[in-house]
A and B are shown apart, each in its own frame.
Chain A
Amino acid sequence: MNSGPKVNDLTFQAATVNGSGSQSANLVLTRAIFSMGIPVAPKNVFPSNIEGLPTWYQLRVSSRGYQARTGDPDVVVALNPTTWAADLAGVRPGGAVIHEEVYSTAGARDDVAYFPVPFAKLAKTRIQSDTLRKQLTNMIYVGVVAGLLGIPFEAIEHGIKRTFQTKPKAWQVNVDAACVGYEYWREHFSDRPIQDVLRPMSGAVDGKVLVEGNEAAALGCLMGGCTVAAWYPITPSSSLCENLIAYSDRFRIDPETGRRKIAIVQAEDELAAVGIAIGAGWAGARAMTSTSGPGISLMAEFSGLAYYAEIPVVIFDIQRIGPSTGLPTRTSQGDLGFVYTLSHGDTRHLVLLPGTVEECYELAQQAFDLADRFQTPVFVLSDLDLGMNLWMTRPFQYPARPFDRGKVLSANDLERLGGQWARYRDVDGDGVTYRTLPGTEHAAAAYFTRGSGHDDVAKYTEDAEAYARNMDRLARKLESARAAMPQPLVETGASSSTGVVAYGSTHHAVVEARDLLAERGLPVDYLRIRALPLSPAIAEFVAAHERVYVIEQNRDGQMYDLLRLGLPSDLAGRLRSVRHYDGRPIPAEAIARPLLELEEVQPVS
């Protein structure tokens, strides 16, 4: 036990073949362990493929609730012959390897414990259904793992019911298959020493739920009053709109009339998807689209038009590696710089940077308010890790504020104003002007929408001064928005010398890295950026520290660059860049190790 996994602190990994149904098995294990009161953090590492290629599911169990990816696993289920050698090589010394009995362990490493199981034979003899055999084979390993780690069988049953919530017919066959594995473990391995490393806990997960970021964002759209959504399927963003469809089917159909209180259009491409959303935003609906990097590229022209024509629209970018095929199923924070100025011409967009699934939910709602308030595209930058993996979170809060629909003049308003108004005139001094919606029943309501070539009454002009004046107003509008964006979250008091800045899903690795660093004698303060344009609070944070490390998941340090441009030169010199960009979610070690080196901290022996 000493060199093996610690109680309630280990990483489990299942190496399987995609399309084989292993995802359900892994979810059952996740839900089962979570139901024991133990914090879980699953990561799905999957190929861009439907069936037959290697896939891994990494399930971190952490008594302290850490949710970042870890390195090598402690317990491995090896069910893919093509990756068997590599999977075995990756196990932490002292770990356990459950594998298909026929895989050879002759001459293999002797610092791990082997648990050979005749999965294929068990499936053949003990699973009656020919059609379900392949899927249920995975449930057999669930039973073996349950025995090995000390997961009570009732917890497995709970996990099955929760995973197949909407398919009660599937419960019994899955329970039976898990039972086959559980019995096999009891008959063959119950005397082996690694058992019972999971023990029920209390206090750590009380009241918490497991949600994927895309599901959370979809719920945010629903609660934020989205009524038009247009999308084109693309990994890793598809599940956002698919969840929105599922929620809408449940909650947006009038039970009396059968009418849908939302239009969700699967568009022909991302050009159309964003165009539909912009057309809807122009006509007064709360509209969104969701995509990933390649789609963002296609949305560049329309995003610029919406910026200049000042049309509210919400655009989700669930970032991945690209372009083209790239590594479409691997995570990244590589779109930050591109999205911020997406368009030709001088453009600065409002960008929200959720770091948790709770923020996916909350900032999705807020995005619609900000888009309406500032009449401009609002981008929400999530990523594959945040969007497609399950995360432990406290339940979401019911919205505290009513919608902010911004400066829209109704027919009554126009009547009150005697019909005197100008679409692009800055009457309030905040750079934000008034708009009317098509269909407004007033003779003065109409105006003509086009790109940047217009005067303040929306008439076409190529006048140089009118153009420059409008550009200056748009810059003023950005300054108004800067103050209204979600402010950074700051944790100070640990150190006056060293600070860390991060954003998005990198947050979870920072949380853990700060604990690691503090244990090794290097406590650091932390600021998490949640929006662009950058908050003035960032300069204060940098001014209060000698060195500030900017941690992010892209090669070029895109946020680091934005910060250097945005800070006074004396402060910019305090910034250091730490980057992780191999497509896997950043682990805490990728932050702690470079910081210890750069800060020249001697390791605690």
Chain B
Amino acid sequence: MSATLNRLGLPRDAYKGAATTLCAGCGHNSITNHIVKALYELGVDPHLLAKMSGIGCSSKTPAYFVEHAHGFNGVHGRMPALTTGAQMANRKLVMMGVSGDGDTVSIGLGQFMHMVRRNVDCTYIIEDNGTYGLTKGQFSATADVGSVQKRGTVNTYQPIDPCAVALTVGCSFVARSFSGDGKQLVPLLKAAIAHRGTALLDVVSPCVTFNDHDGSTKSYSWVKDHDEQIQDVSFIPYFEEIEVDYEPGTTTDVELHDGSHLRLKKLGQDHDPTDRLGALRLIEEHREDGHLLTGLLYIDESMEDFATRERLPERPLKDLAEEELRLGREDFARLMDELA
């Protein structure tokens, strides 16, 4: 096998999509590249991938990766519902939802929370830039208090932190990252895909046109100066051998549903990623301190995903044949007798 082909024999180009139409330098384009890398290295079968999105700059990006996967650019804030339905119809699909801070935290907040509480198997990426790009620079609900709009307006309203919201409604995988940090984001993306359940990745992704100036807390320079990483994250897929030599006490190893491993090496903070309340406290402390905390905040591999809890068969519901779905003639006749 050539070194440029993955375990399915596919080159990296097989995971590319159409040319981006976003602004040069947009954080979303970096995330797209990280998604391509993660999918390529994991060897996700393109025909099993379903790329889902709502409306906004972020929601355009599924067109820019894995051209040979089905995609669905739905209506604003409703990606979770479409994703839930598609998962119910075919639980074998690898669902990847790409949303934005407006799409998720404003118009789609309700659907986001309900998808999380159902634990629908899906990688849920928020490309979070604190602003509405396509409509030219209004604040979104993730903008921090005191954050300054390009036109000079100062935000006075409390932000909604999607990671904190997800934790309070029982999300089984919560992480935050930065579009410019592929070293951290790529392993987190791989782990999110390997995780069975809703895996939330809130990725701060600067908007170069409307929110990359002084006074913004979602600019490249602000994030670089204030990013505090919880762990050094690495991912070992199930099809690769695990190196066992790591320092106990400083490194945590999490086994994921498919047998892959997420290896977390402690950096600054002492955080147990299975401690939900600890994760919430950490988020709040860093917000007060004016830092952006990135890394894996929480993981629970024991939680059943929606399709499992609903006791759906392994075979996709869409493939069930007529004779499996319709009552037989005898059952039907008996039912009619009962109505008499």
Contacts and interface: CB of A to CB of B under 8 A. Distances in A.
Interface of A: 165, 207-211, 219, 222-223, 225-228, 230, 251-252, 254, 257-263, 265, 267-269, 271-285, 287, 301-302, 305, 309, 395-396, 398-399, 402-403, 436-443, 445-451, 459-460
Contacts of B47: 438-443, 445-446
B85 A403 contact: no
Given A223-B327, A282-B72, A439-B47, A260 B89 contact: no
B257 interface: no
A272 B89 CA distance: 15
The 5 closest A-B pairs by CB, nearest first: A279-B85, A275-B81, A285-B89, A284-B318, A279-B82
B86 interface: yes
The size class of the interface chain B forms with chain A is: 35 or more
A252 B324 CA distance: 8
A7 B47 CA distance: 70
Given A261-B317, A285-B317, A449-B72, A279 B63 contact: no
Contacts of A257: 313
Contacts of A450: 72-73
Nearest to B340: A209
A258 B18 CA distance: 44
Contacts of A403: 322
A222 B78 CA distance: 27
25 contacts: A208-B340, A222-B326, A222-B327, A228-B85, A230-B85, A259-B314, A260-B313, A261-B313, A265-B88, A267-B114, A272-B84, A272-B111, A275-B75, A280-B89, A305-B75, A395-B336, A395-B340, A436-B70, A439-B93, A441-B47, A446-B71, A448-B71, A449-B70, A449-B73, A450-B73
A145 B53 CA distance: 62
B63 to A, nearest CB: 6
A448 B53 CA distance: 11
Interface in B176-225: none
Contacts of B329: 398
Interface of B: 18, 46-48, 50, 52, 62-63, 67-75, 78, 80-90, 92-93, 110-111, 114, 118, 307, 310-314, 316-320, 322, 324-327, 329, 331-333, 335-336, 338-340
A63 to B, nearest CB: 20
A302 B78 contact: yes
A209, A278, A283, A395, most chain B CB atoms within 10 A: A283
A226 B307 CA distance: 17
A220 to B, nearest CB: 11
A22 to B, nearest CB: 23
Contacts of A223: 326-327, 332
Interface class of chain A by DSSP: loop
A282 B327 contact: no
Given A283-B85, A285-B317, A271 B111 contact: yes
A287 B85 CA distance: 9
B16 to A, nearest CB: 13
B56 to A, nearest CB: 13
Nearest to A272: B81
Given A210-B339, A305-B74, A437 B318 contact: yes
Given A272-B80, A275-B81, A279-B84, 19 more contacts: A227-B318, A259-B313, A263-B317, A267-B81, A272-B78, A272-B110, A275-B111, A280-B89, A283-B86, A285-B85, A305-B75, A395-B336, A398-B329, A398-B332, A439-B92, A443-B46, A446-B46, A447-B70, A449-B71
Given A302-B78, A449-B73, A211 B85 contact: no
Contacts of B307: 263
B273 to A, nearest CB: 28
A165 B319 CA distance: 36
B336 A260 contact: no
Given A257-B313, A440-B47, A278 B322 contact: no
A499 B218 CA distance: 69
Contacts of B82: 275-276, 278-279, 282
A566 to B, nearest CB: 30
A225 B326 contact: yes
Nearest to A219: B335
Nearest to B338: A165
Contacts of B336: 209, 395-396
A264 to B, nearest CB: 8
Given A223-B327, A402-B322, A254 B313 contact: yes
A228 B88 contact: yes
A271 to B, nearest CB: 6
A208 to B, nearest CB: 8
Contacts of B319: 284
A439 B340 contact: no
A258 B311 contact: yes
B80, B89, B310, most chain A CB atoms within 10 A: B89
B50, B81, B92, most chain A CB atoms within 10 A: B81
A276 B329 CA distance: 31
A260 B310 contact: yes
Contacts of A226: 325
Nearest to A209: B339
Given A276-B84, A438-B90, A301 B75 contact: yes
Nearest to A405: B322
A271 B115 CA distance: 13
Contacts of A402: 322
A230 B114 CA distance: 13
Contacts of A396: 336
